[in-house]
Structures are given as C-alpha cells and as structure tokens.
C-alpha cells in the first residue's frame, strides 16, 4: 500500500479522467511522479480570456492533502491575481494560518476537503472575475479597474499567443 498522499492523488487523477469538468484537463506529467501535475485551463467564455488555453503546473507537497499544492502558469499571464512569474494567488491555495495578503477569511482557505478539481474551477472563476483587491500583479489590477479596454486587449493578445497565432 502506497502512502496516503499518493493514494489520494491517484484517486483524484482517476476522478478527473473519468469525469472531467468542462474546460479543464489535468494529470501528472509522468506516471512515475504523481506529485507534479500539468493542467490546461480553457479561458472562460464571455470574458477577455475566451478561447485561450493556458498551461499551468501544480506541485504537491508530500503531506498533501493536509497542505495545499502550489500552482504556477507556465505561459505568459497578465491578471490581477497572478504574479509576474505565473504563480497563482487565490485564497484556496493558502494554508490556514499564513495570510500573505492579510485579509483572507479562514473559511476560504485550504482544507483537506478541497481538491485539484476545485482549485482549477476556482482558477477559472478567478480568470472570469479578477479580485482587484489582492494585488498579486498591481499593474494588472489597476489596469483592470481603470482601463478595462487596454486590459482586454492585452488579454486577447495573450490568448493568441498561447494558441500560437500571429499577434
């Protein structure tokens, strides 16, 4: 019998493969290492990210699901809640106790009840509705708030870039 973290990740992988949520594909990069996953997230319809497919990488700690995984987009992203290096900043990925932004409710934090699927769904909704109060990328947050048109055009350019289309 393998470790509990591994078993849980295997169970989640199976679940995600059998019954994938719309617009999300995720799985381990290699079957030898279940602790590093790659995910593809489709930009939500009706938003400036529509049509894009954004690759991200999830790294799970050895004590998953007691601690949350880390998530990082591997493509260029311009979004109020994504750091310039691609790290995603949403409360569900923060363990209760540490509060990098100083305002998150503990009810929104990580708990073993959460799962990869829920994380990715939260990321999709984060793409659709940025939270401009948590400034992982302050420039993006200001632009989102004040110059929406400019933000949208940058987002559309990124969408084309992820698809490998001429810009």
- Residues annotated as part of the active site: 89
Q: What DSSP string runs through 12-28?
A: HHHHHHHSPPTTEEEEE
Residues that bind other proteins (CB under 8 A): 1-8, 10-12, 15, 21, 31-35, 62-63, 65-66, 90-92, 95-97, 106-108, 111-114, 118-119, 121-122, 124-125, 129
Q: Cα–Cα distance between 70 and 7 in angstroms, integer?
A: 19
Cα–chain center distance at 125: 10
- In 3D, which of 88, 108, 86, 85 has the Cα closest to residue 96? 108
Q: How far is the CB of 131 from other proteins (least distance, A)?
A: 9
């Amino acid at each position: 019998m393998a470790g509990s973290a591994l078993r849980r990740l295997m169970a989640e992988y199976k679940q995600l493969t059998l019954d994938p949520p719309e617009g999300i594909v995720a799985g381990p990069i290699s079957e030898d290492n279940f602790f590093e996953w790659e995910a593809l997230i489709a930009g939500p319809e009706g938003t400036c990210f529509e049509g894009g497919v954004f690759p991200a990488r999830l790294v799970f700690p050895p004590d998953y699901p007691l601690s949350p995984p880390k998530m990082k987009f591997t493509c260029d992203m311009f979004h109020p809640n994504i750091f310039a290096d691609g790290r995603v900043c949403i409360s569900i990925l923060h363990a209760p106790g540490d509060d990098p932004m100083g305002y998150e409710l503990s009810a929104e934090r990580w708990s073993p009840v959460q799962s990869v699927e829920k994380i990715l769904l939260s990321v999709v909704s984060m793409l659709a509705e940025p939270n401009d109060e948590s400034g992982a990328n302050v420039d993006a947050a200001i632009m989102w708030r004040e110059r929406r048109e400019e933000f949208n055009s940058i987002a559309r350019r990124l969408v084309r870039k992820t698809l490998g289309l001429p810009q």
